[in-house]
Chain A
Amino acid sequence: MRVAGKGLARAKELYEERGQRAKELRVEGRKVLGYVCLFAPPEIMHAAGVLPYRLRGDPREPITSAHTYVEPLGCPYVRNLFDQDLKGRNAFLDGIVMSHSCDMVQRVYGIWTYNNKPPFQYFVNVPHTLVPWSREFYKRELGFFREKMEQFAGNQVAEIKLKESIRLYNRSRALIRELYELRKLDPPLISGTEVLEVLVAGMGIPVEEFIDLLGEVIEEVKARDGGPERRAARLLVYGSVCDDTTFVRLVEGSGANVVTDDTCIGTRSFRHDVPETADPLDGLVDTYFDDFMCPRTDRGTDIDRFQYILDLAREYNANGVIMYIYAFCDPHKFDAPDVRRYLEQAGLPVLIIDDDYTMTNLAAIRTRVQAFAEMLR
């Protein structure tokens, strides 16, 4: 049963309802698995007939329950996810799947599943270095994951089904890229906040419905008057998982347009299609192991490994970069000084915001963003 809203209104509704659609589908008999990061490819869950539901934190809600089980010194995003789980927000799920995106996730996975055992749990392991044997390891992991999904769902994941899922997800990627095209204009036709609402909405509904939603949104945005105002500051946001609009809204309320990003839910997830390879797992390895630009993967020591960020900024005519990084996020923090140096040398000013996911220092962050936007005028 789909609700009345369409396009952007529908996206906003889904964004705010947090899992409403997944709950409806569950009632209709669909199995729903919560997952944390794309290293456990949603294509594989989809091919087994499962609805992959990307878990969300809630920065508006302080962590309370998780403190009983895990210390405050760790990724605030992952702790927030765990906290939400402890508070029963995931009660509608049939289980959870996590992957070794980073150490934090694996550690919290252990503490989480030990203390608040879900009906089903699975962990996809991921090596760190881009070498042939680590790729092979990851490919075998995906094979095991596929088997596990077959057992869990009671459905065979035939090659043909997996290929079909990959095609569907690629279709959604192509549409997201089309939507992002509309941000290249000056002013952009759609705000960063709206885009994030659409992307987060898509994380919780079947890909088929997401494809429809994207189509509606693109049509609506192309036709509308009254998108974002023209601003001198056109920004790229770089950083960790951004699954809430508070930060982007703050930036856009501080005299800037957010025109693109290098974040997990943003461009990292759709820049590259999954190649349609003879063995579909090979394509998934290409995309999720090689091309997914999370700094948790060791891409060598050449500073040009950051060139893709510059390319992105140029493609979208961004004239400044905000690096939005969570406390204790080692993968991003190690790269930060070099990313900054690289971009600044190329003439792109950079502002680093170190946050605890809940933006407790909202006023201070706003002041810094305003000053940065001001500087770009």
Chain B
Amino acid sequence: MSEPYSEMARAVKSTDTVRNIKKYAPTFYARTKLREQEGKKLVWTMVGVPPELLVAFDMVGEWPENYGTLCAAQLIATGFCEEAEAEGYANDMCSYVRNTMGYLRRCREVGGVPPEAPLGGMGNVHLLLGSGWVCEPRYKWFQAIATHYMDVPVFNDDPVSPAWDTDLEDPRIAEHYKTQLRATLKAQVTFLEDIAGRGLDLDHFRIIMQRSHQAMKFWHETLELRKAVPCPMGSEDYYTAIIPQLYLLGTQEAVDFYQALYNEIKARVDGGQGVIAHEKYRFSWFGIPPWFNLGLFNWLESLGAIVCVESSYYVKKPPELDFTDPVEALVDWIWQEAVERQKESTEVLPEVVNPGRFSALVGSKLVARWIEEYKLDGAICHRLRSCRASSLGEVHFRNVLAQIGIPTLIFESDMTDPRAWSDAQIKAQFREFLEMIDASRAKRGGRG
């Protein structure tokens, strides 16, 4: 089969909505210009911090990890990572972090934004709003930035997640965790109130939370539609479509985007239209993708393989909530999802209490259910050398899936740093995996 894709390719999107995402989320994409014009406080923040809070305080956000994906896509990240390593940040540390540290080192070196920085750089930050959710690198990252490069106020939230065998049915235990969650969110609000010089406007925040809930409902329902055969949307669209969910929740832009996407995907399903006409293999994907090479998904599709569901950033069905007290609604939302996730067996997913309300890895019971519901032929795990949070546990999944007869491919690379990509070797691994599935089908006389 011919392979028209180059080694490091940008993804060719399949949906109009995602292709035109800039139309739906113009303020996100024009954020550098906007913050210059508006003179608002610029916050560096991260996923895991409820984006609704930035909306409520009318603060402009920059997400260094998103900037990392951008640097990765433009193949600039290697240079920044090397800068960070020269500063003493080890090369097994998170490459989003190394990308940021290298960027900052270059800023110091040139006395401003380095010319190679995409989008005109990350702006002059006034405060760092971090999160202890999902991994230690996250709060250590902002701590290190403020120790090493700049003196700005920092707040890291501290949402503690139960171990997989903790009994959340015990009301004492549930209250114990919920108390911590509520306290850390309230402290985050107080920190922002101090910086903004005004209290949180609850009426405004209620509207923001309702919008957020609406957007997430549309998004979840869209993900459900991907169970259809043929699958109406692949990872090349998914990994761009997560942008509003991660960074823009609480805005009308996010609602409009997910509503439009839902409509488009629904029409596809109703018309029996898939991303590829002849699906030979349907997969789930674990881990963050290689941002510098999202074209990989197009390449897979050229081989008849489609990814129908991804573990990272996966959104569950939002629970019904009472928005009278919108802060409490947020606490409830996070907590109810945590309890649900824990039931899905979270032996390798300790971070269920997630203020961002999406997944990193998912539980082994949920994976088994996905196999049925999405009619999957196998799982693909991207083992990230520099991210333990999304990689450690993939072998465990492989074992769980093997017990129900589902094969898993684990391949190693990185999310940001293209030095970890070896094209020929990785593609050979994929081909072998597909051949293996063919062979076992031939043996069983099944689909193929």
A residues near B (Cβ < 8 Å) are: 67-71, 73-74, 100, 102-104, 106-111, 113-115, 121, 123, 125-129, 131, 133-134, 136-137, 140-141, 144, 295-296, 298, 300-303, 327-328, 330-331, 333-338, 340-341, 352, 354
Contacts of A296 in B (CB 8 A): 136
Please determine whether B396 and A70 come into contact, CB atoms closer than 8 angstroms.
yes
Please determine whether B187 and A131 come into contact, CB atoms closer than 8 angstroms.
yes
How big is chain B's contact interface, by range? 35 or more
30 contacts between A and B (CB under 8 A): A68-B395, A71-B395, A73-B391, A100-B350, A103-B350, A104-B388, A109-B163, A110-B163, A110-B393, A111-B393, A115-B396, A123-B163, A123-B166, A125-B162, A127-B180, A129-B158, A134-B160, A137-B179, A298-B139, A300-B143, A301-B146, A330-B94, A330-B136, A330-B137, A330-B140, A334-B89, A334-B93, A337-B87, A338-B147, A340-B88
Q: B439 contacts the other chain (Cβ, under 8 Å)?
A: no
User: Nearest 3 A-B pairs (CB), nearest first?
Assistant: A337-B88, A110-B347, A133-B183
Give the contacting residue for A74; candidates B154, B160, B392; CB below 8 A: B392
Please determine whether B158 and A128 come into contact, CB atoms closer than 8 angstroms.
yes
A327 CA to B93 CA, complexed, in Å: 9
Please determine whether B93 and A333 come into contact, CB atoms closer than 8 angstroms.
yes
Contacts of B187 in A (CB 8 A): 131, 133
Contacts of A331 in B (CB 8 A): 136, 140
Q: B346 contacts the other chain (Cβ, under 8 Å)?
A: yes
Query: Can you name 10 extra interface pairs (CB under 8 A) apart from A126-B160, A127-B160?
Result: A74-B388, A108-B392, A110-B165, A110-B348, A125-B161, A128-B136, A133-B183, A301-B154, A334-B136, A341-B148
Quote the shortest CB–CB distance from B104 to chain A (angstroms): 12
Please determine whether B89 and A337 come into contact, CB atoms closer than 8 angstroms.
yes
From known contacts A123-B166, A338-B144, infer whether A131 and B383 are also in contact, taking CB-CB under 8 Å: no
From known contacts A104-B388, A129-B158, infer whether A336 and B88 are also in contact, taking CB-CB under 8 Å: yes
Quote the shortest CB–CB distance from A77 to chain B (angstroms): 13
Contacts of B346 in A (CB 8 A): 110
From known contacts A73-B383, A333-B89, infer whether A107 and B388 are also in contact, taking CB-CB under 8 Å: yes
Please determine whether A69 and B180 come into contact, CB atoms closer than 8 angstroms.
no
Q: B135 contacts the other chain (Cβ, under 8 Å)?
A: yes
Q: Which of B79-114 contact A (CB under 8 A)?
A: 87-90, 92-94
Please determine whether A69 and B399 come into contact, CB atoms closer than 8 angstroms.
yes
**Which of A103, A131, A140, A302 has the most chain B CB atoms closer than 10 A to its own CB?**
A103
A295 CA to B143 CA, complexed, in Å: 11
From known contacts A103-B388, A334-B140, infer whether A110 and B164 are also in contact, taking CB-CB under 8 Å: yes
Contacts of B147 in A (CB 8 A): 301-303, 338
From known contacts A106-B350, A111-B396, infer whether A334 and B137 are also in contact, taking CB-CB under 8 Å: yes
Q: B141 contacts the other chain (Cβ, under 8 Å)?
A: yes
A337 and chain B: residue at smallest CB distance = B88
Contacts of A131 in B (CB 8 A): 158, 187
Please determine whether A137 and B176 come into contact, CB atoms closer than 8 angstroms.
yes
Q: B14 contacts the other chain (Cβ, under 8 Å)?
A: no
B residues near A (Cβ < 8 Å) are: 87-90, 92-94, 132, 135-137, 139-141, 143-144, 146-148, 151, 154, 156, 158, 160-166, 173, 176, 179-180, 183-184, 187, 346-350, 383-385, 388-389, 391-396, 399, 410
Please determine whether B393 and A103 come into contact, CB atoms closer than 8 angstroms.
no
A301 and chain B: residue at smallest CB distance = B146
Please determine whether B184 and A133 come into contact, CB atoms closer than 8 angstroms.
yes
A298 CA to B155 CA, complexed, in Å: 11
Please determine whether B392 and A354 come into contact, CB atoms closer than 8 angstroms.
no
From known contacts A114-B396, A327-B92, infer whether A334 and B160 are also in contact, taking CB-CB under 8 Å: no
Quote the shortest CB–CB distance from A350 to chain B (angstroms): 10
Contacts of B87 in A (CB 8 A): 337
A103 CA to B361 CA, complexed, in Å: 14
Please determine whether B391 and A129 come into contact, CB atoms closer than 8 angstroms.
no
Quote the shortest CB–CB distance from B359 to chain A (angstroms): 15
**Which of A70, A141, A335, A337 has the most chain B CB atoms closer than 10 A to its own CB?**
A337
From known contacts A114-B164, A331-B140, infer whether A73 and B388 are also in contact, taking CB-CB under 8 Å: yes
Contacts of B136 in A (CB 8 A): 102-103, 128, 296, 330-331, 334
Contacts of B410 in A (CB 8 A): 71
Contacts of B179 in A (CB 8 A): 133, 136-137
Quote the shortest CB–CB distance from B356 to chain A (angstroms): 17
B137 and chain A: residue at smallest CB distance = A330
Quote the shortest CB–CB distance from A285 to chain B (angstroms): 14
**Which of B151, B158, B162, B346 has the most chain A CB atoms closer than 10 A to its own CB?**
B158
Quote the shortest CB–CB distance from B200 to chain A (angstroms): 18
A198 CA to B187 CA, complexed, in Å: 44
B132 and chain A: residue at smallest CB distance = A128
Please determine whether A125 and B160 come into contact, CB atoms closer than 8 angstroms.
yes
Contacts of B347 in A (CB 8 A): 110-111, 113-114
Contacts of B388 in A (CB 8 A): 73-74, 103-104, 107, 328, 330
A99 and chain B: residue at smallest CB distance = B163
B172 and chain A: residue at smallest CB distance = A144
Contacts of A298 in B (CB 8 A): 132, 139-140, 143, 156, 158
Please determine whether A73 and B392 come into contact, CB atoms closer than 8 angstroms.
yes
From known contacts A128-B132, A133-B187, infer whether A73 and B385 are also in contact, taking CB-CB under 8 Å: yes
Please determine whether A337 and B350 come into contact, CB atoms closer than 8 angstroms.
no
Contacts of A127 in B (CB 8 A): 132, 158, 160, 180
Please determine whether B180 and A133 come into contact, CB atoms closer than 8 angstroms.
yes
A113 and chain B: residue at smallest CB distance = B165
Please determine whether B393 and A107 come into contact, CB atoms closer than 8 angstroms.
yes
Quote the shortest CB–CB distance from B45 to chain A (angstroms): 16
From known contacts A127-B180, A137-B180, infer whether A71 and B383 are also in contact, taking CB-CB under 8 Å: yes
Give the contacting residue for B135; candidates A109, A114, A330; CB below 8 A: A330
A104 CA to B135 CA, complexed, in Å: 9
From known contacts A74-B388, A338-B147, infer whether A128 and B88 are also in contact, taking CB-CB under 8 Å: no
Quote the shortest CB–CB distance from B39 to chain A (angstroms): 25
Quote the shortest CB–CB distance from B348 to chain A (angstroms): 6
A70 CA to B165 CA, complexed, in Å: 19
Contacts of B88 in A (CB 8 A): 336-337, 340, 352
Quote the shortest CB–CB distance from B181 to chain A (angstroms): 10
Contacts of B146 in A (CB 8 A): 301
From known contacts A140-B176, A338-B147, infer whether A333 and B164 are also in contact, taking CB-CB under 8 Å: no
Quote the shortest CB–CB distance from A110 to chain B (angstroms): 3
Contacts of B93 in A (CB 8 A): 330, 333-334
Contacts of A107 in B (CB 8 A): 348, 350, 388, 392-393
B345 and chain A: residue at smallest CB distance = A114
A193 CA to B422 CA, complexed, in Å: 44
Quote the shortest CB–CB distance from B447 to chain A (angstroms): 31
A342 and chain B: residue at smallest CB distance = B147
Quote the shortest CB–CB distance from B379 to chain A (angstroms): 15
